[in-house]
Amino acid sequence: MKKKNPRLLALRALEDILRRDRRPKDVLGSCGALLDSRDRAFLHELVYGVIRNMLYIDWCLSAYLKDPAGLKPSTLNNLRLGAYQALFMRVPDRAVVFETTEVEKAAGRNTALVNAVLRRFVTAKTSPPLPEDPAERLSVLTSHPRWLVSRWIGRFGLAEAEALARANNETPPLTLRVNILRTDRERVAGRLSAMGIAFGYTDISPVGIKIRGDYVFEEIEGMLGDVFIQDEAAQLITYLLQPRAGEAILDACAAPGGKTTHIAELTGDRARVYAVDSSAERMKMLEENVRRHGLGSVRTVCADMEEFRPPEGFHRILLDAPCSSLGVIRRNPDVRYRHSPEALGRFHEKQVRMLTAAGRHLLPGGILLYSVCSTEPEEGEEVIRSFLHKEREFFIIDDAERSPSTPCTDAPAAERLKGLMNKEGYFRTYPHRHDMDGFFAVRLSRRRR
């Protein structure tokens, strides 16, 4: 069987991601299966590296291309792959030119142009002067759209906006959540140590482990069920919900099941957990994760949240709403190119509708937790203001006696959890501040009549 060329696979992967709107994880999961572990790592580095640095790469290439817009997308993506290897990887210049030209030949495209451009590029290794405008300059340097960078500068200032953008371009740790119904963090840590995998415990979540060193994913995959791959910020969302045994609990946008399984585990698998999602395909993933974790308290319902009619009211409701995902750019770098300011307005309207629909099912005195993996206020604070303006019987839980029970036993960690919530009761995390994904959450309740 002929060995697959990871550079050619990387080109095809970029085509699927940038032109066919597929997600890097899905694309690489299928084509990476054809490679050994070394070539698979090389493939991932190429694809994620180009996406994370695409605007900067294009800026550098612009000095060597008369009409970049006139190139076929496949040729431009191949040049990006070559430029990334020359700029960011320890690939010899001759190999960059030769291998990229060979990929172009295999793709049946403009071999002469690719060879000529890359020869000049690796010889000169210069780029055009960067823009003087601070937002435009930061946009190019960190490969984030100018509109997004401009917003962050306006909210955080230039220095912190740059810190956030650069954190988005760092490879994040693989974070595990331990299934406490099957094992504990110390035993999982022992297994990782035995495999020679470097790790550390999460700062706040008592069931989180961050993988810091090199690992073979198949080794981690063999632990699924005892662990779930989930960022620490997402783990903390479930602790904010405070799920308890014996309660009726709704996970309103549940697939693929990270928070659903965590809810069931924290209740000792002794609650009535309704997991609702509108996607039949994603619901299959949720059901598989529930089965893998050995949970019996979860009832799955494939339905649109706005049309869901449950058999009972709920003591706790989690609405982890569909959003722009701008808080998880470091894990899904293509997200930065998929949205516009107008898209945030559309997400806002949908989120308010879904929150209103979920709120109808909350029992008086219960907790409705709204969360999104977004850094943007249109999807966070502004959604809550719009909702509370219309739904006057709801309020934000922010008083001391109703604060979330601490998921930690040590006082410093408890204080750090409180530090993630402001005086208005809003929970926020950021990659550059907390080494977590960017999440927003708020706990709401319904007044007793």
Interatomic CA distance for residues 27 and 7, integer angstroms: 14
Question: What phi and psi, each to the nearest 5 degrees, are found at residue 252?
Answer: -80, -25
Cα 291 from Cα 80, distance rounded (Å): 42
Q: Residue 331's closest CA among 184, 205, 229, 220?
A: 229
95: part of which helix (H) or strand (E)? helix 93-107
Report the residue count for the chain. 449
Catalytic residue among 31, 60, 373, 408: 373
Q: Are 408 and 203 in contact (CB under 8 A)?
A: no
Cα separation, 84 vs 157, in Å, equals 29
Query: Quick one: which of 413, 339, 415 has its CA closest to 375?
Result: 339
Joined together, the tokens standing for residue 53 give 């640095």
Q: Are residues 16 and 333 in contact, defined by beta-carbon separation less than 8 angstroms? A: no
Sign of the dihedral through C-alpha 228, 229, 232, 237: negative
429 and 373 in contact (C-beta within 8 Å)?
no
- Alpha-helix runs per DSSP H in 254-313: 258-266, 280-292
Give catalytic status of residue 373 as yes or no: yes
Catalytic residues: 373
